[in-house]
């Protein structure tokens, strides 16, 4: 008989187990599953290309975000982390997958970009590992692979390490274009992320209501020969933390 629930984190980890089977697993063998995903670097996966997101480049080119300390959540092969470092940011980047981190480290070395890579769950890494506060937290494709209850962990991370006046930028599946549109309640009746969760602009505004919206739009399609990554089935969002207010109210 198991009677070992004592903390909120114990509850979250119990719920994690509902999403463990198959390709949607988040805990347990999640790192192994993502390692298998990244093992063949020649697969025709759009975001395997060493190209930064077009929206991120746009924010920097327009001067919306000045260089400072940055955290790349779910960095994968490091394409955005390497670009941020090349643009003068001091970058921490984290991913569950050792294979993804190894690939990202190779790219950073080849580019001569100093990035601190961390392998593990961003929600459980110590404050010493993720040395906030950060001027920018960037999440390109991590958020839509989280079970609904892990939004609590995501928001708590923003509360803890996003600097007052700092920016949170996001790309995620767009409802009606890509991703699962089952309700949160239905996801617990039929556990699994079904390849990733879709979001509407209204849902994103509600989830990140403690932050000020700067821009929310579809990602622009980029041609194959573009130096930037851009797919229109993704939303891009830029939010700013108020200077003196907490990230959530």
Residues 47-80: pLDDT tens digits?
A: 889 999 999 999 999 999 999 999 999 999 999 9
> 10 Å Cβ neighbour count for 234?
26
Regarding pTM above 0.85, the answer is: yes
Please state, in angstroms and rounded to a whole number, the distance separating the CA atoms of residues 123 and 163: 17
Please state, in angstroms and rounded to a whole number, the distance separating the CA atoms of residues 237 and 141: 12
Task: Supply the mean pLDDT for the chain.
Answer: 90
> 10 Å Cβ neighbour count for 26?
20
Residues 6+ apart with CB under 8 A from 6: none
> 10 Å Cβ neighbour count for 221?
11
pLDDT band at 29 (very low <50, low <70, confident <90, very high): low
Please state, in angstroms and rounded to a whole number, the distance separating the CA atoms of residues 202 and 175: 11
Q: Domain 8-240, what architecture?
A: 3-Layer(aba) Sandwich (3.40)
pLDDT at 129 over 80: no
Which residue, among 201, 169, 146, has the nearest Cα to 80 in the 3D structure?
Answer: 169
Helix H or strand E segment including 57: helix 54-61
Residue-wise pLDDT for 195-236, tens only, equals 899 999 999 999 999 999 999 999 999 999 999 999 999 999
Please state, in angstroms and rounded to a whole number, the distance separating the CA atoms of residues 221 and 234: 10
Helix H or strand E segment including 58: helix 54-61
Q: Where do runs of H (alpha helix) occur along 62-215?
A: 79-86, 98-111, 150-161, 184-189, 201-207
pLDDT at 38 over 70: yes
Tokens, residue 158: 């923003």
Tell me the C-alpha to C-alpha distance, in Å, between residue 92 and each of 118, 129, 209: 7, 9, 25
Residues 6+ apart with CB under 8 A from 70: 81, 84, 89, 90, 91, 92, 134, 135, 136, 137, 138
pLDDT at 248: 45
Its sign, for the CA torsion 211, 145, 16, 40, is negative
Please state, in angstroms and rounded to a whole number, the distance separating the CA atoms of residues 113 and 84: 9
pLDDT at 25: 38
């Amino acid at each position: 008989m198991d009677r070992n629930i004592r903390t909120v984190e114990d509850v979250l980890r119990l719920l994690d187990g509902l999403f463990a089977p198959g390709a949607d697993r988040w805990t347990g063998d999640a790192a192994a599953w993502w390692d298998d995903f990244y093992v063949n670097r020649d697969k025709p996966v759009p975001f395997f290309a060493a190209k930064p997101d077009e929206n991120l480049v746009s924010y920097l080119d327009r001067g919306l975000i000045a260089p400072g300390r940055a955290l790349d959540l779910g960095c994968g092969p490091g394409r955005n982390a390497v670009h941020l470092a090349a643009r003068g940011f001091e970058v921490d980047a984290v991913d569950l997958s050792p294979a993804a981190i190894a690939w990202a480290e190779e790219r950073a070395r080849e580019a001569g970009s100093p990035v601190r890579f961390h392998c593990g769950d961003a929600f459980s890494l110590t404050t010493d590992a993720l040395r906030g506060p950060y001027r920018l937290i960037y999440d390109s494709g991590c958020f839509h692979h989280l079970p609904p209850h892990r939004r609590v962990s995501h928001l708590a991370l923003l509360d803890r390490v996003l600097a007052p006046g700092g920016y949170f930028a996001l790309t995620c599946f767009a409802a009606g274009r890509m991703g699962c549109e089952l309700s949160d309640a239905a996801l617990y009746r039929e556990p699994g992320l079904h390849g990733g969760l879709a979001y509407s602009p209204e849902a994103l505004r509600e989830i990140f209501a403690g932050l000020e919206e700067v821009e929310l739009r579809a990602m622009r399609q980029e041609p194959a020969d573009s130096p930037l990554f851009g797919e229109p089935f993704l939303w891009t969002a830029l939010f700013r933390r108020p200077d003196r207010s907490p990230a959530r109210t």
